[in-house]
Amino acid sequence: MMLVVLFLSFRALATPCPAPTSTEEMVGVLDRAESAYQSLDIDGFQLAFEESVLILPCVDAPLTPDLAGAFHRIQG
């Protein structure tokens, strides 16, 4: 799992953001990940997890402590 995060992080750094991402969009992605986790939806969780890693560098405002905590929770 950690290798996936590292790979996606390097990949995200290598490609520019197509558009800024709002913190509200990040909240939505993290909510989908947490919901999928609670529902034992592995594929849904993986998709939301990967999306969160890819859009993190594109977020147009600093993350709140709660939002940063939610991001770290889905990383395991």
Higher pLDDT, 16 or 36: 36
Give residue 16's Cα distance to chain centre. Answer: 16
What is the band of 10 on the pLDDT scale with cuts at 50, 70, 90? low
Least confident of 2-6, 20-24, 56-60: 2-6
Alpha helices in the chain (DSSP H): 2-14, 23-38, 42-55, 65-75
Is residue 28's pLDDT more than 90? yes
Is residue 37's pLDDT more than 60? yes
